[in-house]
Amino acid sequence: MDSAGQGVVLKGELPVIPQHIAIIMDGNGRWAQQRGLPRLAGHRAGTENLRRIIQACADYGIKILTLYAFSTENWARPREEVEGLLALLSQMIDRELENLRKNGVQLRHLGSLEGLPPDLQSRVRQAVEMTATNDRLIINVALNYGGRREIVEAVRRVMRDGLPPEQVTEQTLARYLYTGDLPDPDLVIRTAGEMRLSNFLIWQAAYAEFYSTPTYWPDFSPEELYKALVAYGQRTRKFGGLPG
């Protein structure tokens, strides 16, 4: 992000700005393969793209951005790719943390630190602590995250707290999720053309609008984000009811 907040030239006034968007950053490997590059080069390009999308979100007035960085299922990928991706995430924190802190970005972690390299665990904790009081933009980084595991862990915490069954409502369980103090996402964006959530925010995204683009994540520009926001503004959100 730049300190002046002038990273995006708006193409036109957006009538509706979602408060919370979530992005499944897909297609890094295919982006690299199309260019005859190793898959890790695609992941590197993907992490470098984060800066301009974070800046765009701040400029558009989006308050919460949730990024699917590494899922619990990603451990099944080749060891070299996993280690390389986690190293890139660690480097990104080192490179961007101070700038994000100065620009009012609050970083949060969704998922489990258990199993991650110790140096990455330390960097994540430091990033969360250093930015805890910022409020311009909240960025949730879903790292070693799985939606089903999140729900299981929430149920376990409910049980540990000894809540009687009649007190366990949807609202109660939602408060025990990683995002318990945040509104649910209004818009879920997935790059690279896929049409599924892939175990991402499966509770929170129940009534989110879904937007899929064939653009691979490294090429997902502020202009592509603008297109997604325009499409969102054209939707009628009924939440299971009828439009008013």
Please state, in angstroms and rounded to a whole number, the distance separating the CA atoms of residues 239 and 176. Answer: 22
Query: Could you count the other beta carbons within 10 Å of the beta carbon of residue 225?
Result: 23
For residue 101, what are the CA distances in angstroms to 2, 66, 82, 87? 12, 17, 27, 21
Q: Per DSSP, which regions of 25-158 are E strands? A: 64-71, 105-110, 137-145
CA dihedral 195, 200, 201, 207 (to 10 degrees): 0
Intra-chain end-to-end CA distance of the chain, in Å:
39
Active site residue 199: no
Q: Give the sheet arrangement for strand 187-190, strand by strand.
A: 105-110, 137-145, 64-71, 20-24, 187-190, 209-212
Which residue is catalytic, options 2, 26, 135, 186? 26
Q: Residue 68: how many CA atoms within 13 Å on its side-chain side? A: 26
Q: Directed axis angle between helix 222-233 and helix 39-60, to 10°?
A: 60
Active site residue 74: yes
Which residue is catalytic, options 74, 99, 134, 199? 74
Cβ–Cβ under 8 Å, residues 103 and 3: yes
List the catalytic residues: 26, 74
